[in-house]
Structure 1
Amino acid sequence: MPRVFSGIQPTGDPHLGNWIGAISRWADEQQPDHVFCIVDLHAITIPKPPGEVREKTLDLAMWLFAAGLDPEVSTVFVQSHVRQHTELAWILACTTQMGELNRMTQFKEKSDGKDGVSAGLYTYPTLMAADILLYQTDEVPVGDDQTQHIELTRDVAQRFNARHGETFVIPKATIPRAGARVMDLQRPEDKMSKSAESQSGAILLAETEKQTAKKIMRAVTDSGSEVVAGPDKPGVTNLLDLLSAVTGRDIPTLEADFEGKMYGDLKKTVAEAVNDFVRPARERYAELEKDPAEVRRMLAAGATKAGEVAEQTMADVREAVGFLQ
């Protein structure tokens, strides 16, 4: 089986886009060689209030376990609990070209118009590369907005191997087909985001079913009344994409179901289907919330497993670079 690495930041509030595009998919496809990391070091590239990262990390861990990630099967841990991530990040920073970092579009977007930008925001692609390469990863499931980072990781790994000898597996990106980009209910041209100024268009995992249904019923639609997907109907297309993602039914079949029906019928069906889809995880999360010590225990066990693999890789890296043992 290929080794798969996935990382997710403990920032904002997890929403349906995270769930469909990543978390639920991780749980469905988990295998013993799958590694899932809460990347808390990435979360501090932008300053956070004291304690926020700790709180969000524990909360996100509960959602990962609520989704069905099994610490007895896959490896689930917190990035800062495995110190080799930062060690390898520095070595890779010395292998990465500034021109490569200058081309990273996410840095340009996040730094645009800001007076003060941390060096960590600029160099975090090398930490991301370390996250992946540390576990000799074969595949990295990502949204299409993250493929540039995987390309950089591949380039850095190939350069390191050419310079120091074959050390790293060269990973490849795998992109989910359905639900890879869940769009905002109020701004269907934008991806649903944890960092959006308004959460009126985002379906949060922690909200109630009533709140979820209310947001979907208020979702932006388009002119006309025909329930069909298309570039001129971003609102309706988004709702159909959501329904397809949570039911597994394809768009043409759904369009046929709603022939002659109104937008209100579509929204009601989407609301019910989304709540049905998320309900088991919401119930499991409520159980885990009552026992945070157990969540910490599972994370600690995951860090031990991850650390064993990470140290084996770092031993090879130190030897390849030529550090004094």
Structure 2
Amino acid sequence: MTGFHQRVFSGVQPTGNLHLGNYLGAIKRFVELQNHYECIYCVVDLHAITVWQEPKDLSRATREVTAAFIAAGIDPRAHIVFNQSQVAEHAELAWVFNCVARMGWLNRMTQFKEKAGKHKENASVGLFAYPNLMAADVLAYKATHVPVGEDQKQHLELARDIAQKFNMDYAERIAELGHGEQFFPLTEPLIAGPAKRVMSLRDGQKKMSKSDPSDYSRINLMDDADTISLKIRKAKTDPEPLPGEVAGLEGRPEAANLVGIYAGLADTDEQAVLAEFAGPFSRFKQALADLSVEKLSPITAEMRRLTAEPDQIDAILADGAERARAIARPILDDVKDVVGFVRSTVDERALFGNVS
């Protein structure tokens, strides 16, 4: 990644109740990365509308995700937190990438096939082109690293393909304008640690999801302590005790899931959990309930405080968007020069005044 500033970009969709899977799989990781990188964290509301969203629900969910970021420990002053739709550079660059990416690449995206199902002819064009917008999210900031889970690896590989094709297609122009051999970095994945894929509490072979009809399948970040404890106690297990070795979890998806959740919350690994709790499930479940309440209750309380003050959240998002634009605008201007677009070099604020 020589020549590129070390920068992380990632985002979370505002599409309903945040749950433990969102926290362990993404938000907790975001907090940790602040100590090592310049971080840009986005509430990706443009991605959200690839499927229908009730407008009032979308606004509420956007603020709720922002509150979760802050409550979990993301510092919006040291880093950048904003919502995607406030920074037009994402959509502008996505159009350029629509013209770089190939249809065959997008046809191979498994997530589109899963989401569209048998009704792909009725799916939105936005859902099909979603990975190109994701590539634009990352490359609008020339981000060098993206924390990814298993379900996003393919999209990051596509972003790398788009960056490489752009670099190759415009290589002569890029060099002529003094941008070196590569305009865009080939963004690297940051693979998460334990509990990177949190499964349903009712079915260890299904991912924890806000769309599951059973609320007992997930722990919502807004659940109170009693509800968290109850859901852990009712979580599906099997008749066998916990083994002493990780190999003993093979073929036991529910047990493996609960051990992974404990490891993720405790910042340890599965083997350490089994070394402590091998034996009857009852003792382990009580410890997992206590740990879950200990880790999540302060986040829940702060989320509730912040969501009760939407003006404070909106101010954080507006400030983050302004700082994000300050990075993305010069990069997009350079893209336009590389592609050959004619663009104004006049400061419009000087012509028309800084109209707000």
TM-score, normalised by the number of residues in structure 1 = 0.96
> How far apart are the structure 2 equivalents of 1:167 and 1:159?
11
Contact 1:222 1:234 in 2 (8 A): no
SS at match of 2:55: coil
In the TM superposition, residue 67 of structure 1 has moved relative to its aligned partner by 0.9
1:5 matches 2:9: yes
Give how far 1:42 is off.
Answer: 0.3
Show the 5 A alignment for 1:149-298: 149-164=155-170, 165=174, 166-228=182-244, 229=246, 230-259=249-278, 261-298=279-316
Match of 2:346 in 1: none
Whether the 8 Å CA contact 2:194–2:268 is kept in 1: the answer is no
Give the aligned partner of residue 154 of structure 2: 148
Deviations for 1:185-235, whole angstroms, at most 9, x for unmatched residues? 101111112232333211100111111111111111113234455122211
Q: Which moved more, 1:302-311 or 1:161-170?
A: 161-170
Residue 283 of structure 1 and its aligned partner are, at CA, apart by 2.0
**Structure 2 counterpart of 1:256, which letter?**
A
d(CA) in 1 for partners of 2:273 and 2:12?
A: 31
Map of 1:135 onto structure 2:
141
The alpha carbon displacement at 1:168 in A equals: 1.2
For 2:274, give the aligned amino acid.
E
Secondary structure, in 3 states, of the residue corresponding to 1:306? helix
- Decide which of 121, 129, 132 is 1:123's aligned counterpart: 129
1:113 corresponds in structure 2 to: 118
Preserved contact between residue 63 and residue 281 of structure 1 (Cα < 8 Å): yes
**Following the alignment from structure 1 to structure 2, what is the Cα–Cα distance between the partners of residues 252 and 16?**
21
Rate the CA distance shift 1:280–1:28 in 2: closer, same or farther, 3 A. farther
What is residue 53 of structure 1 aligned with on the other side? 58
For this pair of structures, how many residues does the alignment match?
324
The 1-side partners of 2:335 and 2:271 are apart by 51
- 1:127-166 Cα offsets, whole Å, 9 max, x none, are 0110000000100001011010010000011111111133
User: Residue 48 of structure 2 aligns with which residue?
Assistant: 43
Which residue of 1 is the match for residue 330 of structure 2? 312
Instruction: State the SS of the aligned residue for 1:108.
Output: helix
RMSD between superposed Cα atoms in Å: 1.5
Larger Rg over CA atoms: 2
- Partners of 2:63 and 2:307 within 8 A in 1: no
Deviates more, 1:11-20 or 1:31-40: 31-40
> For residues 255-305 of structure 1, what are the alpha-carbon distances to aligned partners after superposition, in whole Å with 9 as ceiling and x for unaligned?
23223x421111111111111111221122222123211111111100000
2-structure distance, mates of 1:89, 1:3:
20
Moved more, 53-62 or 315-324: 53-62
SS of aligned partner of 1:113: helix
Amino acid in structure 2 at the alignment position of 1:213: S
Deviation, 1:250, is 2.7
In the alignment, is the contact (CA less than 8 A) between 1:200 and 1:215 conserved in 2? yes
CA offsets, 1:6-60, max 9 Å, x none? 1110012111111111112212221562100100000001112232211110111
8 A contact 1:167–1:316 mirrored in 2: no
Which residue among 60, 77, 99 is the counterpart of 1:72? 77
> Which whole-Å CA distance do the structure 1 matches of 2:194 and 2:272 have between them?
15
Q: SS state of the match for residue 209, structure 2? A: coil
C-alpha deviation, 1:73, in angstroms? 0.6
* 1:18 aligns to 2:22 (yes or no): yes
Amino acid at match of 2:299: A
- Structure 2 residue runs of 5 or longer lacking an equivalent are 175-181, 344-356
Residue identity over aligned pairs, in percent, reads: 39
